[in-house]
Amino acid sequence: MPAKIVQRNNKPMKKVKVDSVTIDIIESALRSARYEMDTVLFRTAMSPGIREQHDEFPMIANLEGKMVVGQFGSFIHGFMQGYDGTVEEGDIFFTSDPYSVNGAVSHANDWLMLMPIYKDGRVIAWSAMFGHMTDIGGKVPGSLPTDARQIYEEGIVVPLVKIFKGGELQQDVLRIILHNCRLPMWNLSDFNAITAALRTANNRCIEISTRFGDDVFYSAMDDMLERNKRAMRELIRRTVPEKKQYFEDYVCDDGMGMGPYKIACTMWREADTCVFDFAGTDPQSVGSINFLLNEEMFKMFAGVYMIMVFDPQILFNDGFYELMEVRIPSGTLLKPLKPAALSCRTHALGRIFDILGGLLGQGNPAFMCAAGFSDSPHFMYSGYRANGEWYQLYQIGFGGIPGKPFGDGPDGHSLWPSFTNVPNEFLESYFPLRIEVYETIADSGGPGKNRGGNALRIGYCFLEPGEISIHDDRWLTYPWGVNGGLPGQRSQKLLKRANGSEELLPSKCDRVKVEVGDLLYFDTWGGGGCGDPLERESEKVAFDVEAGLVSVAGAQRYGVVINADGSVDEPATRALRARMAKDRGAVELFDRGFDTIDALKARCRAETSLPPPAQPQFTKWARSKAARSA
C-alpha cells in the first residue's frame, strides 16, 4: 500500500507554460541550493569521511520524487510506493537498510534521510541526502568487515522510520541508533548536519516557489526533466547501436579466498530505449563484496557516464530514466538475496564504471575510455592511545583515472569527481600517525597516446599500537587499456615492521595488528592507457619523465629514447618505434594484460609471496540455497 501524503491544501499543481529564461533562473537557483546543502554539511559534520572527503550525496526532487538537481536520485518514488504510513508536514524519514529501499543506499554505513517540502499546506518538492558514517557498530571498527557473511554482522541496520515526526525529533529512536556506534558524537554531528542540509533545501525551494509561484516552480522542474529526456534520447540514438555489445570484468576476490567474480553485461538499443542486461554475472558472494545495485541508480551511472563522454553540456537529472531498461538477475553479485553481507560493495560498484566504458565504447571506439575507475580503496586504523582515548580513522584512497580519447587520465584521483583527499596535516593532527610518503607512482599509468593516470602511494607510519583494515581490488586483474593502450599497474599493500621484517598484505583484510614504528605502503592501481602509445608525442613523454610521472626506462614503452640531459634522441626513437610497431602487429581494441582469467590466476599463484590464508585459492562458491544460508 503506497504512502499517504497528508495535506491541508489538496489543490493539485497545474502545468503552465514557462519561458526559457525563467527555467534557467530556477535551474540555477536549484543548483545553488544543492551546493549550499553541501556547504552546510561540510561546515557542521565531524567525521573526516564527510567533512574532508565529501562522502555524501544530496538531491532536490520534484513533487513526484524525480531528482532535478543532485547526484543520486530516483529512490523517493520507490519510498512512496513501499512505505505503509503517512507523510506529514515536519516529517523527516531515516533508513540505513539497503534491502528496505532496493539498494538506494548500498550498505548500512550510508545514512539516508528524506524530507517532504511543504508550502502552504501541500507538498511542492522533496529534499534528500545520505552520507557515509565512519562507524555503525558491527564486528570490526569501521563496520566494513571483509569476512561478514550476513548484513547483521556489519553494524546496526535501521529500517525506514520517521526520525522527525511533525517537526519533533524522536529522541529515543536516535538514542538507540547512536548507542550501537563506536563514535556516537561523530554520528550525532553528521546526523544533525544532514538534517540542517535538508532544511536548507526546504527553505530555498519555498523561496523560489514564493517568488515565481507554485505552478511555475512545478512546471519549470518538469520542463528541466523533459529537456534532459530529449537530449538523452538523441544521445542514445547516436551512440548506442542496435547490435548487442557484450563486456565482462572481474572483482578480484572477496577477501575470503574465493574469486575472481565476473560481472557481465550486454547492451543494445531497441528504438529509443537503451537496454542493459546483466545475465551471466556470477552468483552472489558468501562474503561482503555483494553490491545491491538499484536499477535506477545504475541508470544514473550510465547517464552520467554517457553525458561526460559524449556531451558534457547536458544537464543531468532523472528525466531520461524511462529511456533505459536494466535487467539484473536475482541471486547474483549485483542483486543478492537478504541477508547477504553488503558492507564491502565498493569493489563491484567501482567495476561498474569500467563495465560501462567497455560497453559504450565498442560501438564508438573513438570515444572509448580505458579502465581505471575500478574501485574506491578504504583504509582504517583504530585503537587506544596511551592515555586511554579511542581513535578511529576511515579514509578513502585514490587511484589512477583511465586515459581518455581527449586527454590523459588524472594521477591519483578519486573515483567520484567531487571527492577530495584528507589533508596530511589533518591526519597527523587528529590521529597517531605520520605520513612518510605521499606521491604518485611513476610508470603505474598504462602507456597510450593518452596516458592512464598514475597510482597513488601513501606511506603511513604508525605512532600508537592498533589495528588496520584494508579494502582494495585490482591486485589480480589489470585496469585494461583500449585502442592500443596498455594496462595500468595493479595495486599492492606492503607492511614494513619496525623490527625489519616485511609483509605483503592482501587487498582485503581486517584486524591486522600494527606497532609503533611500523610503516604501511598503500599502493593503489593505475589507469589504463588510451590509444597507441607509439603515437604519443615524444615531447609529452619527455615532459612526463622530467615531471617524474614516467621513468627513463618507462619512456621506452612509448618507443621514446631519452638522453642523459632529458632531451629526446629522435633518430633512436624513430628506429625503436618502427621496430616495436613491427613486432607488435595489429592494435587490439582491448588489452587486459592476460589472455584468459585461468592463465592470470596461474601466474598469480606462481608470483605471489603471500602466505596462507592470504594466498588466494580461487575457489568458486557454489550457487545453492544451502551455501547462501551458511
pLDDT tens string 301-343: 888 888 877 777 777 888 999 999 999 999 999 999 999 999 9
Check whether residue 13 and residue 138 sit in a common domain. yes
Amino acid 614: pLDDT: 47
Question: How, if at all, do strands 456-462 and 502-505 pair?
Answer: unpaired
Amino acid 360: pLDDT: 87
Lowest mean pLDDT among 32-36, 251-255, 379-383, 593-597: 593-597
Instruction: Provide the residue range defining the domain that includes 549.
Output: 534-586
* Per-residue pLDDT at 607 exceeds 90: no
Domain's final residue, options 204, 231, 258: 231
Residue at 300 is within a domain: no
Check whether residue 14 and residue 138 sit in a common domain. yes
Amino acid 259: pLDDT: 87
Amino acid 433: pLDDT: 97
* Per-residue pLDDT at 580 exceeds 80: yes
Amino acid 594: pLDDT: 87
Q: Using CB atoms within 10 Å of the CB of residue 293, give its burial: 0 to 12 exposed, 13 to 18 middle, 19+ buried.
A: buried
> Percent of the chain, pLDDT > 90?
78
- 3-class SS at 410? coil
pLDDT tens string 88-107: 999 999 999 999 888 888 99
Amino acid 1: pLDDT: 62
- Asked if 96 contacts 191 with a C-beta cutoff of 8 angstroms, the reply is no
Check whether residue 520 and residue 459 sit in a common domain. yes
Per the structure, how many domains does the chain have? 3
Determine if the pTM surpasses 0.95.
Answer: no
Please give the Cα distance from 140 to 392 (Å, whole number): 11
Place 510 in a pLDDT band, splitting at 50, 70 and 90. Answer: very high
CB proximity list for 34: less than 8 A, separation 6 or greater: 58, 59, 60, 69, 70, 201
What is the average pLDDT across 603-618? 55
Check whether residue 593 and residue 568 sit in a common domain. no
Check whether residue 288 and residue 433 sit in a common domain. yes
Amino acid 625: pLDDT: 36
Nearest to 84 by CA among 162, 157, 4, 159: 4
Residue at 304 is within a domain: no
Residue at 307 is within a domain: no
Please give the grid coordinates belonging to residue 348: 563491484
Place 74 in a pLDDT band, splitting at 50, 70 and 90. Answer: low
Check whether residue 97 and residue 164 sit in a common domain. yes
Check whether residue 488 and residue 552 sit in a common domain. no
Check whether residue 140 and residue 217 sit in a common domain. yes
Check whether residue 410 and residue 544 sit in a common domain. no
Amino acid 611: pLDDT: 44
Residue at 470 is within a domain: yes
Nearest to 40 by CA among 56, 28, 24, 25: 56
Check whether residue 155 and residue 251 sit in a common domain. no
Residue at 316 is within a domain: no
Check whether residue 398 and residue 481 sit in a common domain. yes
* Per-residue pLDDT at 612 exceeds 70: no
Residue at 573 is within a domain: yes
Amino acid 73: pLDDT: 62
Amino acid 623: pLDDT: 36
Check whether residue 191 and residue 251 sit in a common domain. no
Residue at 485 is within a domain: yes
Please give the grid coordinates belonging to residue 422: 584528507
Q: What is the mean pLDDT of the chain?
A: 91
* Per-residue pLDDT at 521 exceeds 50: yes
Amino acid 587: pLDDT: 87
pLDDT tens string 238-284: 889 999 999 999 999 999 989 899 999 999 999 999 999 999 999 99
Residue at 618 is within a domain: yes
